[in-house]
Structure 1
Amino acid sequence: MNFDGILFFPVTPFDAEGRVDPGLAREHVASRLPFGPGGVFAACGTGEYHALTAQEAGVVVRSAVEAVREAGADVPVLGGAGGPLGHALEAARAAQEAGAQGLLVLPPYLVNAPTDGLERYVEAIAAATDLELVIYHRANARFTPEAVARLAANPKIVGFKDGVGDVAVTQEVVLAVEATGRTDFQFFNGLLTAELSQGAYRGIGVPLYSSAAFAMAPEVAIAAYRAAEDGDEPRRRELLERFYRPLVRLRDAVPGYGVSLVKAGVRLGGLEVGGVRPPLADPRPEHLAELERILAVGLELAGSPTASGSAALVAP
């Protein structure tokens, strides 16, 4: 399984009765595929994995798989697996039955565990299916470089996603895995609004990142990605200053806005994906208005050249 490009974490649409809407889930994924995501991570963090049953997670993953197949796209689809071990195993099996190619291993439920316990948690999920796994280093699932190197001995474990933000530790993880001889292991920046930190991560050998902005404004996310890839520093910085920094300030205003703002942004784009499930809350009216303003600025930047002379970008 290989990733090349921005990692797309779709939202999970709910209908008026609060049920998962597989048709809208397919539409949401299909509408972003023309922008060339490097992978689709369905029913994960932005997709409200924490609020889904294992069966619902399987429905969401199947919708993403169907959208990719119908588009004839060569994009891997992964599902989430985390929380209580029993639930994680059920979600992992549901993802495999839905046609996923891999799993993002999310943190276990509540408890803090020793390193060897976290390793056993990952190995138990790996043993439950034939799918390849990406480890998510975040919250109460913090892996030492040595632990990641040991897990890398399992060929089914193919990636490491950092959601902690300790660049020094992530650098050690990269070096530890490289020392094992694995050449197919991949590293991801999984911080919230990763575009702000990706310059630093690229410098330590972490070329991939997840983009919440891609779910609601793929034009803007791709503009930032291409500016970084092309070395167009003035354009990248303009996007960071005028779009991403205001978005981060708004995101930090209320806990959980890292998900609910993205879902609101998808709605503002015309796809009625519903609100978020508890314990998250939808944006307040004044915050929704600010999000709309930020998105308008971002879309204007994405579709216009800057002083550096970059070509306009509205769609790939």
Structure 2
Amino acid sequence: MDPFSSALIAALDRVRPAVVHIYAATPKTGQVALGTGVILDHYHIISTAQIVAPEDEITIKTADGKRRRAECIGVDPLYFLTVLQVEERLPHDPPTFAPDGTTPVGLFVAAVGYALGQEHTAASGIISSSDRTVYRPKARGRGNLPVDGLLLTSAAIHPGNAGGPLIDLEGRVVGINGIPWQGGLSLAIQASVAARVASQIIDYGYAVHPWLGFSGEVDVIDDIWVEMLNLPTDRGLVVQHVASDGPGRRAGVQEMDMIMAVGDRQPVLSTGMIRKLLSTRRYGDQVPMTVLRQGELIELRLPVEEIPGLDRFDPVSDDDESAAPDDDED
């Protein structure tokens, strides 16, 4: 057997004990959905709301062939991740979730699960685009919802393996397969994002999805100005628009400000990066933000607030998808 195939088979063997088959029955209609989940810890499983709804009667089958009852304890309205909980401790250890920043373009991956209801399927490919943001139109009202931390992959995501893991050749989970607004694209949620969302649902009952109330573009500063002003980095996000009633306005952000760093001095490369940093906090927190304004560095405090209208968010069809960036901060 060639080395490449051997490495892939070994990676599949490593992750397989952490992959579960899900059967979800809707009591009112009797409709049954089949899909895949991945073990987060010994009592919780991550899957997708394409398969499981809170009112469903859920059965999971683990790698040892044993069936167990599970309960849906939360569905995230932005990523449509769902978290299942079992009463009996799962006998299999969770897989390794790849940390943020370890899924470069070109990384070889495999989408694992129970595609079309079949046992232990895999579809291979590469990461085509990493840390991607997709903008979805709100179900009601104007504006878009930014969905950060997505992976575009050439690995085929079939009905049935959505909710399962996207793995690398080390057997690490680099993403969770499939989102319902993918519009023909094979998209996965970064493992670090999925783990954060699921853990917050378990701990708080909801996941944190902040908005900024401003938008802009990243620009580079000449080295001589970096040295003269003793700047923390040579680039930042130039604010082009500030919403009239949003966290940015309340923090004092102005148009033409250059945001240099957020939180613990992490440089800013996109609005999505700022949202990801804020998502690790709680609503109501005030996060320090370093801003360059007219040649002077100042510090503002950006409040962590929920995206408006998120609780009214409903699934929409692929035909309604808007994958092109738009002003999501109005």
Structure 1 and Structure 2 fold alike (TM over 0.5): no
Query: By percentage of residues, which structure has more helix?
Result: 1
Query: By percentage of residues, which structure has more strand?
Result: 2
TM-score (norm 1): 0.26
TM-score (norm 2): 0.26
